[in-house]
Amino acid sequence: MRNRRKFLQTLTAFSSLSLAGCGWKLANVRAAAKSSHSDKLYIYTWTQYSDKKLLQIFTTQTGLQVLVDPYDSNEVMLAKLLAGGGGAYSIIYPSDYMVQKMVEKDLLTKLDHTRLNGLENLLPQFKNPSYDPNNNHSLPFNWGTTGLIYNSEVIQKAPEDWDYLWQNQGVLHNRMTLLNDVREVMGAVLRMLGYSYNSKDEDQLKQAYKKLQELKPAIASFDTDAWQNQILAGDLVLSMCYSADAIRVIKENPKFKYVIPRSGSSLWTDTIVVPKSAPNLEGAYAWINFSLQPEVAAMTSQNLNISTPNSAGFELLPKIIKDNKNLFPEQRLLEKCERITPLGDFEEVYERYWTQLTSS
């Protein structure tokens, strides 16, 4: 569902922070690595979450060699695990709703919090999330929103809500894209209509479908990745997107702006989990403890342009990053956002309307 963020990024050293101060903490990590039965740690993650600088630091501190395989959607990752192809991985990075599915399928190790150092550094809203009560099976890694990115040289007045797309179909005709994601697109329209992103009312869903039918002739495509190059090239003027992608595009060209629609949007979290099939459990805990250190969390946030859920790490960031509202939106906007949650058998109703919309 979340075919999110397919791009390879050149990462640079995090010159404003030093990891020298966390050597005593990493002594525990090294000890754990030495007691491991393997000198390798296999990680399965989103493409852009692999930071070569951090991997080198972790290897230097622990002696563990990290090998990373990328995936481009939660569903691809889950299918691989269910097919028995994920036996090598000790760390995986599923999104929030996928954590629930993986727990239901008994795929995840229950985390031993007595073996974790730095849980107190997490922001309060990430300590007991609805998708994983008490962080029993996951820890947050990155979070963000879904919204609209637009070319401010063409669209001079910022869109305020999702209804902007319907009201400006002429200007946007064949120059806008929506995500190729049924729950995000249907959810956004449901929210615009005053309903929940996670509605299980078929009448409400039908209303959203009809609105999308009205808009479809003006939509260039339903796309999650290719829009980035297209909007930078000038072929598009507006795209529905994830904040992490918007930040990357804006960094390349500041004329692009990102907004969270005022009626609300989705709030997502990507997490770190340990599968039950993990061959290197000690190494997995070593990696998690490494990631929880404030210096590492701050370095990761700046290198990868992501929103850290680590409060101590946030305090170490340069002011320009802490003040970036795309990375760290105002609370008044976040209060309007919802997490996407699994809907069980009702997801088939979403898929039915989605198929009718995208195939017609």
Segment 237-279, tens digit of pLDDT: 999 999 988 998 999 999 999 999 999 999 999 999 999 999 9
pLDDT at 230: 97
Residue 84 to residue 277: CA distance in whole angstroms: 9
Measure Cα distances from 82 to 75, 109, 187, 299, 341 in Å.
10, 15, 27, 33, 21
- CATH fold label, 145-267+330-359: D-Maltodextrin-Binding Protein; domain 2 (3.40.190)
**Tens digits of residue pLDDT in 202-211:** 999 999 999 9
pTM reported for the whole predicted model: 0.79
pLDDT at 88: 94
Strand partners, 41: 66
* 275 close to 109: Cβ distance less than 8 angstroms: yes
pLDDT at 47: 74
Residues of the chain with CATH 3.40.190.10: 20-138+273-322, 145-267+330-359
| Tally of CA atoms within 13 A in the half-sphere of 177 that contains its CB | 20
User: b/e map of 141-158 (b: 16 or more CB within 10 Å)?
Assistant: bbbbbbbbbbbeeebeee
- Identify the architecture of domain 20-138+273-322 in CATH: 3-Layer(aba) Sandwich (3.40)
Q: Which residues of the chain have pLDDT under 50?
A: 1-24
236 Cβ neighbours under 8 A, 6+ residues apart: 151, 175, 176, 177, 220, 227, 230
CA quadruple 160, 161, 162, 165: dihedral positive or negative?
negative
